[in-house]
Amino acid sequence: MAPAGLAVSAVLLLVVAPLVLSPFRLDLLAKYLCYAIVAVGIALAWGRGGMLTLGQGVFFGLGGYAMGMHLKLAEAGPGKLPDFMSWSGVESLPLLWKPFANPVFTLVMVVLLPVVVAVLLGSLVFRQRVRGAYFAVLSQALAAAFVILLVGQQGLTGGTNGLTNIQHFFGLDLYDDADRRLLYLIVALVLGLAYLGVRQLAASRYGQLLVAIRDGEDRVRFLGYDPALVKTVAFAVSAALAGVAGALFVPVVGLLTPANLGVVASLELLIGVAIGGRYSLAGAVGGALLFNYAKTVFSEELPDSWLYVQGALFVVVMVWAPRGIAGLAGQLRDRWARRGPLRPVSYPAGADRPQEVST
Amino acid sequence: MSEALLEVRGLNVVFSGFHALTDLDFTLRRGELRFLIGPNGAGKTTLIDVITGLTRPASGSVRFDGRELVGRREHRIVRAGVGRTFQTSVVFEELSVVDNLDLAAGFRRPLPALLRRRRGVSDAVAAALDTIGLGDLADRPAGVLSHGQRQWLEIGMLVVQRPRLLLLDEPVAGMSRDERDRTGELLRTVARDHTVLVVEHDMDFLRRFASTVTVLHEGRLLCQGTVAQVQADPRVQEVYLGRAKEAA
Amino acid sequence: MSLHQRARILLSLLMVSSVVVSMSACVDDPDSGRADGDTIKVGVLHSLSGTMAISEVTVRDSELLAIEQVNAAGGVLGKKLEPVVEDGASDWPTFAEKAQKLISEDRVATTFGGWTSASRKAMLPVFERNKQLLWYPVQYEGLESSPYIFYTGATTNQQIVPALDYLKEKGKKTIFLVGSDYVFPRTANKIIKAYAGANGMRVIGEEYTPLGNTEYSTIVNKLGQAKPDIVFNTLNGDSNVAFFKQLRSAGFTADTMPTVSVSVAEEEVAGIGPANVAGHLVAWNYYQTTPGATNDAFVTAYRAKYGADKVTSDPMEAGYNAVKLWAAAANKAGSVEVDAVKKAAAGISLDLPEGKVTIDGENQHVYKTARIGVIQPDGQIKEVWNSGQPIKPDPYLKSYPWAAGLA
Amino acid sequence: MGALNQLVIGASIGAVLLLAALGLTFTFGQMGVINMAHGEFIMAGAYTAYVLQPLAGGQAVLAALPVAFVVAGLLGLVLERVLIRRFYGRPLDTLLLTFGVSLILQQLARDIFGAPNVQVRAPGWLTGGVDLGGLRIPYNRIFILVLAVGCVVGISWYLARLKQGRRMRAVMQNRQLAAVSGVATERVDQLTFFVGSGLAGLAGVALTLIGPVGPTLGSAYIVDAFLVVVAGGLGQLRGAVIAAFTLGVLNSFVEFWTANGASFAKVVVFAVVIGFLQVRPQGMFVLRSRALS
């Protein structure tokens, strides 16, 4: 976003919103901002890198559970067990949980866990040139498997209930409105940093390379680059952002359950980006806010029709505005200029080409 | 200058029972500009595909500067110094001409160095831009280029990588006469300090710009020599004329 | 910067600002009381969409029926109740979000809601933080007693323990546990194992499947090999349909592989197909066939409002009870203030469809009569045993020596 | 003993997977369309059996087979005509588009038939089973297996022998070439989509025999069905068959021999597919081709 637009947004989110919104609505906005952080990562991986990740919830969950484990331990106090363990019949703290008592370790894990999983998966599938539709289906299956894994380990993860009743966040009292406002500001700042960082990345040579790989992976390979490596990096960055967003989601909402990271939740993370505009970082942020706000409004006013609206949104955006709201102007221009000498350069034709079979 | 840069020995490629290349031996000397011709299905593109790692041979070896290429991954072969173009040119439409060249030039940059924005134009890129004559269009997105310009940009993207062997797959296909001439000139310039192998159909282009020619037919080496020698070879005439008769 | 890029930014900015601006239109007013207007708002919070809607919509319906009846009888403190219905969307954080909305924006006097344990666990901190009341109408796994929740469904000693008593009385020695993989089945099974150990019974198998699982051939195969005296089934929702269909088609009937279920009520029987499940046992506190004039009136009123083909079930009745109990408590207290209602609620006793129901002031659960039923070929459930009198709720099973190690 | 039983059970799980995935080998495998609404076509098939019940009584399942094929097929045809044909060459957009369609269809089913599960009675002759050692194989499982095998045989015969089938294959292998050779590719696309969606309808009818019939019936199978097609190889019928049965047997074995197996089995299946794609990135079978991007 241009400096002016960025400044206006920053003022709007950092100053105006905390002043005019009721605590309840500010909480909601904080939640939307968490999703917007994920959206920034998706815009990088999908918009720039052409990797449609239907499993972003997994990374959101990894970051979220890492944070949730720490907060539950802090809540329980030293030597005590988190509440759900006692009703799950766990008698001593599982080994996996122990290091999460350390806040620094937790913060590192919030980023590292998603990155490691993304690198592992990415280097496996991208090296084998699994992409496009295949990659989408695999990442979706990953989300499905991850949820089953989490639900199945009730003593370790809280099962379907997830981690609930989180009341403090690094000294902030989550029952206190002023502290919650501070939490909101932290989320907004993290979003700002994520946006600026990814914008920088997208504008760099690396960003160009990523777009080049999206539009012609084989060609890039014959320029001497390893596309698997480049894609894995983008995938890992988007995973890290999702992890951070998940970690912030936990104190904002006060709980985290496997339903927040399953197949449907992962798709909902995407649709905001699609609505806002996958090729524009700012559009992705706006879209994520708009979509989640619409979800709240509809479920308050017309719960029965929300699925129709959500379904229709997917259809309408894909049919009439594949570049999203942010791309509307460009799309209109292309329509007018269709007969002109300019080819539509802003819509990458190759971004979405069918799975090639190369042997 | 006369030692072998590329040595292909006993190459066999089979596609689901179809023998695309059979026991092919082929040598390219350092500094050479060689044309590779043959009727459709002769195995010209397959040979290039094998050299660049796109296709795995059933047997045989490809040695480049004494090192085996078969079994290496594509980007490693490029890094070893073998560059190629494709029949249908692929340039990055969203990036500007300069960025396309810059991207190609930077293939040896470590990942951290990639994280910075491009500032200015490096000498190598400027030189390549000059060679391919697209200086005026440097900052336009590559998507607006004409077919011919795209081919030149592709060649530029190769040259800027300073490869030791260039493989060009039908560089003048679909070009106007004017564009063909310019491409030929470009080819001569490039061939001055590179080893080049060109796959080409266009006999007229061949006569004007080729020195030595290799003829493939049905996956085997038919003959090799100067343009005049090859044209005089009865087997070549048969292969081409036979086809011509069939077609007629 | 191109015009196009400018437009992108403008449009993005527009999206961000429209959200912030329109959200600021929703302002809550923390100073207004919860019964200041001509009506008293009460929250009704169930999943109206998503996988849980199947079950929860009917509970919402019976709660709305109860609210209507309370209003017809003069309301609470002379004011009509105004239900504010929200959708939990089968998503636990959404339950927490909507609970907060009901409390801080709608300023409801109390909330009736939830079905799954997960949704209750998600809402619990919200109600505790705001010091507001939730009425939770479904049987659950116990081990909880929040000062801000009233539990009108059964806790374990009013459903699972009586079912085990019944099985023991019938001479069942070996038990196979089949459940969905979440907190209720796991806790229930822990209790069953403790009970079995102390009562000469043996648990010979324990299987969990993911929620929504529909492939049961392997488990049916394991059952066939283990040949238990009884299968204790804590599967939830859709899985019951698949489980019973596949059990039946593998040739097992209620005679050759008897089961007792604690999450299969009249609603679920219709979806499974009565033919597939007839003869199997269930354990609840209420059936549509439970005798008594109060229940007849409830069933009649429910069918009159929602359709003659509708069935009533235990959770629906517990939701209905919750509304009636709260209204009685508020009227007794002369106020809808939480502390006053809590104080007044202790010991309140009403004649409700399942029989006499009394609130235990100590743990805010209710006294309930346990009933074992057999599913009939017509889809109804016939009671074959009951506990004779309402059982005192004991969510932590403190009065059962064999359960000492559980909580 | 246990192993043999689980092999049989695995085969029956595989048959269910195969039936759910068969249609996808057409629409996803051969046309490259990721149709997330495929699950809802399965659901439509199941509801067809429910709707026919008052007419056909106990034989609803049998009567529904052809009707469900047509109903789901027509749904697919409409989807292809109205939306998907604008999206060829954009598989990722298609995925999101059809996910939207699936949400709409699910809610539509909820509004028409109600949220609770409905009951479809199995025909009398499908109750009972064959005793095989200690294991009883239900007739309905055999029915599903026969139906799945019948579909596979029918499809192979159709693709190999019939004119439309050969055209379909031609278009799948090389769209442009087929087009210039005079094949009306649009018609073939429609036909492919009709058949692929129709197969989903058949799967839906079969699933009424073993599971719940409700609005979310299809979404329970969709992820697994895609995994089968991915593991089998794009558009490869025999690949899908082998993948479905392999995953089915794997699932049943893991579930049988591990504690809390049902959850674990699903995770193992995913891990195996990922691992397998490391060895064969294009799935089990792949057409070797020289095409480059």
Domain residue ranges of chain D, discontinuous segments joined by +: 2-221
Strand partners, C367: C358
Number of A to D CB contacts under 8 A, please give it.
149
Put simply, whether D122 touches C (Cβ < 8 Å) is yes
If one counts every other C-beta atom within 10 angstroms of the C-beta of residue C171, the result is: 8
> Taking Cα atoms as reference points, which of C1, B116, C20 lies closest to residue A4?
C1
Which of C49, C238, C249 has the CB atom closest to D117's CB atom? C238
Contacts of D271 in chain A (CB under 8 A): 145
Whether A260 is covered by a domain: the verdict is: yes
Q: What residues make up the domain containing A286?
A: 3-340
Q: How many CB pairs under 8 A join A and C?
A: 210
Least confident of A3-17, C303-317, C383-397, D75-89: A3-17
pLDDT of residue D288: 42
Q: Is the pLDDT of residue C136 over 70?
A: yes
* Residue that wins the pLDDT comparison between A346 and A209: A209
The model's pTM:
0.89
The pLDDT value given to residue D26 = 81
What is the mean predicted confidence (pLDDT) over A164-183?
A: 92
pLDDT above 60 for C145: yes
Q: Does the beta carbon of A151 lie under 8 angstroms from any beta carbon of chain C?
A: yes
Q: Band of the pLDDT at C266, cuts 50, 70, 90?
A: very high
User: In this prediction, does ipTM exceed 0.95?
Assistant: no
**Cβ–Cβ gap A348/B84 under 8 Å:** no
Which residue from D93, D287, D293 is facing A318, i.e. has the nearest CB?
D93
Cβ proximity of A239 and A117 under 8 Å = yes
Class of domain C156-284+371-403: alpha beta
* Distance (Å, whole) CA B28 – CA B9: 12
Q: How many Å apart are CA D13 and CA D7, to the nearest integer?
A: 10
Does A27 reside within a domain? Answer: yes
User: What's the rounded Cα separation, in Å, for the pair D97 and D95?
Assistant: 5
* Residue A158 domain-assigned (yes or no): yes
pLDDT for position D1: 53
Per-residue pLDDT, averaged over C159-174, amounts to 96
- The confidence band for D290, taking pLDDT boundaries of 50, 70 and 90, is very low
| C39-154+292-367 and C156-284+371-403, same CATH topology | yes
User: What pLDDT is stored for residue D291 in this prediction?
Assistant: 41
Chains that touch D (3 or more CB pairs under 8 A): A, B, C
Q: What does residue B169 show for φ and ψ, rounded to 5 degrees? A: -100, 105
Other Cβ atoms within 10 Å of A344 Cβ, number: 17
D15 has pLDDT over 80? yes
Q: Which residues lie below 8 Å from residue B120, measured CB to CB, with a gap of 6+?
A: none
pLDDT score recorded for residue C26: 66
The answer as to whether A326 is a domain residue is yes
The pLDDT value given to residue D227: 87
Q: Which residues of B176-210 are buried (b: 16+ CB within 10 A; e: fewer)?
A: eeebbebbbebbeebbeebbbbbbbebeebbeebb
Q: With contacts defined as CB-CB under 8 Å, which chain B residues touch A344?
A: 143
- The tens digit of pLDDT for each residue in B8-60 reads 999 999 887 788 899 999 999 998 999 998 888 888 889 999 999 988 899 99
Alpha helices, DSSP H, located in B42-201? 44-51, 74-80, 97-105, 111-114, 123-132, 147-159, 177-192
pLDDT at D283 > cutoff 80: no
Least confident of A215-219, A293-297, C113-117, C190-194: A215-219
Question: D137, D141, D210: which to substitute to probe chain C, counting the most C Cβ within 10 Å?
Answer: D210
- β-bridge mates for residue B83, sequence order: B166
Higher-pLDDT residue of C3 and B125 is B125
In whole angstroms, give the CA distance from residue B240 to residue B234.
10
Angle at C131 between CA C126 and CA C132, to 5 degrees: 80
Closest C-alpha to D204, from D20, D25, D13, D9: D20
- Nearest residue of chain C to residue A176 (CA atoms): C129
Report chain A residues whose CB lies below 8 A from the CB of C104: 22-24
In a mutational test of the C interface, the residue from D136, D249, D270 whose CB has the highest number of chain C CBs within 10 Å is D136
The total number of structural domains that make up chain A:
1
Chain B: closest CA distance from residue A135 (Å): 21
Q: Does A322 touch chain B (CB under 8 A)?
A: no
Q: Map tokens 């699950």 to a residue.
A: D39
Chain C touched by A200 (CB under 8 Å): no
**What three-state secondary structure class fits D32?**
coil
Instruction: Look up residue D214 and give its DSSP letter.
Output: S
pLDDT tens-digit map of D189-223: 888 899 999 999 999 999 998 888 888 888 888 88
Which residue type sits at A17? A
Decide: A253 and A183 in contact? Cβ < 8 Å. Answer: no
Whether the pLDDT of residue B1 is over 60: the answer is no
**Is residue A346's pLDDT more than 70?**
no
CB D167 within 8 A of CB D183: yes
Q: Give residue A355's pLDDT band: very low, low, confident or very high (50, 70, 90).
A: very low
Integer Cα distance of B47 and B22 in angstroms: 11
CA distances from A80 to A76, A91, B39, C6, D238 (A): 5, 10, 80, 55, 56
pLDDT at B18: 83
C7: pLDDT strictly greater than 50:
yes
Judge whether residue A352 has pLDDT over 60: no
Parallel, antiparallel, or unpaired: how do β-strands C259-261 and C230-234 relate?
parallel
3-state helix, strand, coil in chain C (%, to 5): 45, 20, 35
Rounded percentage of chain C residues whose pLDDT exceeds 70 = 96
For chain A, the average pLDDT equals 87
Contacts with C, A 79-118, CB within 8 Å: 84, 86-89
Give mean pLDDT, residues A219-240. Answer: 93
Residues of B in contact with A227 (CB under 8 A): 75
| Interface subset of A 227-246, CB within 8 angstroms of B | 227, 229, 233
How large is the average pLDDT for residues C230-258? 91
Please give the CATH superfamily to which domain C39-154+292-367 belongs: Response regulator (3.40.50.2300)
Quickly state the pLDDT bin for D41 (edges 50, 70, 90).
very high
- The answer to whether residue D118 scores a pLDDT higher than 80 is yes
**pLDDT per residue as tens digits for the range C357-396:** 999 999 999 999 999 999 999 999 999 999 999 999 999 9
Residue A215 at interface with chain B, using a CB cutoff of 8 Å: yes
Helix (H, G, I), strand (E, B) or coil at C85: strand
Put simply, whether D139 touches C (Cβ < 8 Å) is: yes
Task: Give me Rg for the CA atoms of chain D.
Answer: 19
> How high is the pLDDT of residue C1?
52
The pLDDT value recorded for residue A357 is 30
Question: String of b and e for B94-130 (b: at least 16 CB within 10 Å)?
Answer: bbbbbbbbbbbbbbebeeeebeeebeebbebbbebbe
Angle at C239 between CA C233 and CA C245, to 5 degrees: 85
Confidence of residue C33 (pLDDT cuts 50, 70, 90): low
Q: How confident is the model at residue A60 (pLDDT cuts 50, 70, 90)?
A: very high
Check residue A351 and give its pLDDT.
38
Q: Is the pLDDT of residue B203 over 90?
A: no
Residue ranges and CATH numbers for the domains of chain B are 4-92+163-247 (3.40.50.300)
Q: What are the pLDDT digits (tens) for C55-90? A: 888 999 999 999 999 999 999 999 999 999 999 988
Name the band, by pLDDT with cuts 50, 70 and 90, for residue D279.
confident
Residue C206's DSSP bridge partners are C177
Mark out the alpha helices in C199-254 (DSSP H runs).
217-226, 238-249
pLDDT, position D293: 33
CA distance C157 to chain D (A): 26
Of C11, C28, C96, the CB nearest to A254: C96
> In the predicted model, is pLDDT for residue B2 greater than 60?
no
**pLDDT band at A340, cuts 50/70/90?**
very low
Residue D256, chain C, CB below 8 Å: the answer is yes
The pLDDT of residue A42 is 97
Query: pLDDT higher for C157 or A134?
Result: C157
Q: Is there a domain that residue A352 lies in?
A: no
**Which H or E element spans position B213?**
strand B212-217
Mean pLDDT (chain B, rounded): 87
8 Å CB contact of D116 and C271: yes
Q: Long-range pairs for D256-259 at CB < 8 Å and ≥24 separation?
A: D256/C218, D256/C221, D256/C222, D256/D2, D256/D6, D259/C206
Confidence of residue A37 (pLDDT cuts 50, 70, 90): very high
| C108: nearest Cα among C124, C93, C128, C86 | C86
Distance in Å, alpha carbon of D241 to nearest chain C alpha carbon: 19
The 10s digit of each residue's pLDDT in A279-338 is 999 999 999 999 999 998 888 888 778 889 889 998 999 998 888 888 887 777 777 765
CA–CA gap between residue C318 and residue C137 (Å, rounded): 5
Q: DSSP E strands: which ranges in chain A?
A: 168-169, 172-173
pLDDT in tens, C222-233: 898 899 999 999
- pLDDT-based confidence at residue C36 (cuts at 50, 70, 90): low
Residue C54: which pLDDT band, with cuts at 50, 70 and 90? confident
Predicted local confidence at residue B246, as pLDDT: 47
